[in-house]
Amino acid sequence: QVQLVESGGGVVQPGRSLRLSCAASGFTFNSYGMHWVRQAPGKGLEWVGVLSHDGINKYYADSVKGRFTISRDNSKNTLYLQMNTLRAEDTAVYYCAKDSTSGPIGGDLDCWGQGILVTVSS
Amino acid sequence: QSALTQPASVSGSPGQSITISCTGTSSDVGSYKLVSWYQQHPGKAPKLMISDVSKRPSGVSNRFSGSKSGNTASLTISGLQAEDEADYYCYSYAGSSTWVFGGGTKLTVL
């Protein structure tokens, strides 16, 4: 079955960097775009960004543009989120999610990881 | 990329129907048939319930339905059941390969 497992979260000081990983299994990883979505404690969902199946096209929410970078290693079936210049407001559970459409990014998220908590605090 | 507007909470009794609205703008909800809905139980990952305004993914109960009129999309749940109690989020394409969520609605089954 499709499975997504995030790792790499933890506590980090403001201004520092952190990289999250998302290990995928159960589907042809290199055929699907992949998204990151976050949820601040007690708050709603926020779309963070998406990377196309081939790793070429990347799009981000304004709130993270210029600070976060999504990448993937299709040989390892793994998605990454590099987070730089972290702020307190980046504190959230971060989910990776699989796009529902094979090939071009469709946008719907049909499979989600369990989420990983990132806390930005001094 | 402003969040779509949803009511903070709705409630209904078992067996009743409820509707959750999701209001956007002509730049997102109003321009595309790319609105979906997600259900999230406490401490769990979200689950896709409706895609492309009104399509139900395989395995989703036909008690869930979606629609759209102008800048407002809606999710209707008929025959409310206790297990439907959860948070619900709308999600829309917002142009330029970006997407936006609604603020979320907490559904309470009385």
Q: How do residues B66-105 score in pLDDT, each as one tens digit? A: 999 999 999 999 999 999 999 999 999 999 999 999 999 9
Tens of pLDDT, residue by residue over B32-62, are 999 999 999 999 999 999 999 999 999 999 9
DSSP bridge partners of A51: A34, A58
Tens of pLDDT, residue by residue over A36-79, are 999 999 999 999 999 999 999 999 999 999 999 999 999 999 99
Which of B38, B93, B104 faces A107 most closely, judged by CB atoms? B93
pLDDT of residue A104: 86
Q: Which residue has the higher pLDDT, B45 or A103?
A: B45
Classified as helix, coil or strand, B14 is coil
Q: Which residue of B has its CA nearest to A39?
A: B45
Find tokens 């078992």 and name the residue. B14
**Cβ contact, residue pair B99, A114, below 8 Å:** no
pLDDT of residue A45: 98
DSSP bridge partners of A78: A23, A73
Comparing CA positions, the residue from A81, A27, A28, A72 lying closest to residue A54 is: A72
The span from the CA of B102 to the CA of A94, in Å, is 17
Other C-beta atoms closer than 10 Å to the C-beta of B85 total 17
**Cβ contact, residue pair A47, B98, below 8 Å:** yes
pLDDT above 90: residue A29: yes
pLDDT of residue B2: 86
Q: Is the distance from CB of A79 to CB of A34 less than 8 angstroms? A: yes
DSSP annotation of B48: E
